[in-house]
Structure 1
Amino acid sequence: MALQDNLVRDALLKLAQDDMPWDKTGEAVVWRRIFTVTMFKIPSMASQSWMIDGVDEFSCFGFLFSKKFLATIPHDLHLFATSRLLEDIERGFLSLGRKKATIEKLSDTDTVENMHLFLDTRLKDLGRPDNPQDRERMCEKIFAKSRGSFLWPRLVVQEFEDVW
């Protein structure tokens, strides 16, 4: 966004100059400062579409559904969010109303093929293990421990990339 919109870039640069200890501040405060106080006040935000990935990985996702935060979102800003469907998150999305939020449920089986392809391809690229049967067993082991989360296989592969 900052590359496309000078107002966004200037606002974020100004925010970065604040004396706020970003690494010691709670996520809700960071979100409020970046979005409510800064980004949502920029006129061009109303014509944008945003994607928020992994809502369930945000430690205080309840903040996203608070009336105080929702009231600050520009009316025409389009949001697309992904998350594992936890009960609190489903209630949060439903609190937005059917006109604002649509819930599409995916099961673990919907992502199995993609996760397997990702693992197999990355392990093959890394040359680990050498033979296809061992690689398949490794894929299955990693996948079994992922419990449906795509992040787990990515982190495991990243570990393989970082070791000699």
Structure 2
Amino acid sequence: GVVAVAVVFLLMRSRTGLALMAMRDNVGAAETMGINIYRAKITCYIIACFFTGLAGGVMYMVQGYILPDSGFSINWTVAMTFMVIIGGMGTMEGPILGAILYVLLTQFLFNFPGMSMIILGIIAVVVIMIAPKGIMGTLYEKTGFEILSLRRSMPKGISIKKAE
């Protein structure tokens, strides 16, 4: 997990990561700026496949078996969605915070097996209503606080003036 976060963090701060973020925002504009869309998408796909395969291998080593339900059950899908929604999409820290909160909440709700999914759903709806960008997205929006910033600082000696 830590290695995957480090690789994604470094990737997103690289030229390829900047290209991916430009493509996310506007594919046409990214292509106009000279970004090779095909190459950037293939690079992203290869990295995602590598970590998915690695996760599957680790999952097999831990469980000793693999079933389709291991990665495609409704509980698994809800858990992943909950982590991203609660923590905040579009941030590096959001899904990490969401995963921590999900694990803590599921441990706390372990004694309420019939109600745990309902309670998690209620929490997700409340967070969506109060903080539509998730906890980290809203925290950044209100305070500018980021732990793993993907923004690059301007080189020293360069200043940008507003157009008149």
Shorter-chain TM-score range: under 0.3
Given the two structures, how large is their TM-score scaled by the length of structure 1? 0.27
Q: Which of the pair is proportionally richer in helix? A: 2
More contact order relative to length (CA 8 Å, sep ≥ 6) = 2
Please, what TM-score do these two structures have when normalized by structure 2?
0.27
Higher strand share: 1
